[in-house]
Amino acid sequence: MRYQRIKHILEPPYAEIQLIPAGGPITIDELLAAEIIDICDELLFQDDIRVVSITGQGQAFATGRISPPADIVGADSSQQLDWINGLKAAGAVAGLPMPVVAVLNGDATAHGLELALAADLRIAADFVVVAAGKIGQVGFPFDGATQRLPRLVGPALARDMLLTGRTLTASECLDAGLVNRVVAANELSAAARALASKIVDAAPIASRFAKEAVNAAGDMTLAQGLRLEADLSIILQSTSDREEGLLAFREKRVARFLGR
C-alpha cells in the first residue's frame, strides 16, 4: 500500500511511523486511521521488528477529533459503528505484540491523546501539552480514552480531564505517570532513539511476554496474573535466547538475542 498520511521507516530491529499533516494540524481522519491500521497489520507479521516508534511531523503529535459526516449522522447504528471502527487507529497500535514508544514531538489532544495512550511508553518534549478534550466540545471518546487514561493516571485525574477538558503540561504528565520521559525539544529525537535502543537490547520474546503480562494485569485477579506470569516464564525456558542470555552472563559479554 502506498501511504499518503504516514511515512514508515523499517530498519530492523527498529520501525518508525511518522504522521504527516494534511495542510494543517495532524488530526486522525478516515485516511490517516486507515493507513495506521494497515501498517500495524503489516508489523504484526514482522518478527525482526523489536520496537515501534510513532511520532508526528511538524508542530504537533496529533490533535482534535473529526466529526462524523452528514451521511453518518443520519445513518443507522450499524453504519455509525462501522465508521467508528474504521477510525480506531489506537486500537491497532495497542494490538502490536512488540513494545511501542509514542514520541510526543508536540501537543497530543483528543484522538491524538488516545493514540499516545495506546503505546507502551511515552516520551515528550518539554513544551508539550496533553488533553483529552472536554466531552461535548470534541465528541465522546471512541478509541480508548475512557479505559486507558484511568489505568495510567487514576480515575480522579481521568475524570477531571474528560469532564472539564483539563490540560496537562509535560511536567504534569510526568508527575501523573502519563509520560515516562520529558526532555528538551532539541534532545527528543536522540532520547527517543536511546530509549528504543534499550528495548532492542533486551531479549525480544521476553519483551513481548512482559508486555502481554502487564497488559493483562488490569483484567485479572492477582492469582490469575501470577499463573500467567509463571506460564510465560516456563515457555521462555525453552528458547534459545534464554540459553544465550545465560551463556553471555557466564562469559561476561553482551548477549546476542535472535528472537528464538
Q: In the numeric block, which cell numbers belong to residue 258?
A: 535472535
Q: Which residue has the cell 480506531?
A: 88
Q: Domain 6-200 falls in which CATH fold?
A: 2-enoyl-CoA Hydratase; Chain A, domain 1 (3.90.226)
Q: What is the pLDDT of residues 180-189, one digit of tens each?
A: 999 999 999 9
- Give me the pLDDT at residue 23, please: 80
Residues 50, 208: Cα–Cα separation, whole Å: 9
Cell of 253: 559479554
Q: Model pTM?
A: 0.91
Domain span(s) for CATH 1.10.12 in the chain: 203-251
**CATH 3.90.226.10, the chain: domain bounds:** 6-200
pLDDT of 92 over the 80 cut: yes
Torsion-angle region of 259 (φ positive above 0: left; ψ -120 to 50: alpha; else: beta): left
Q: Does domain 203-251 match CATH 1.10.12?
A: yes
pLDDT interval class at 120 (50, 70, 90): very high
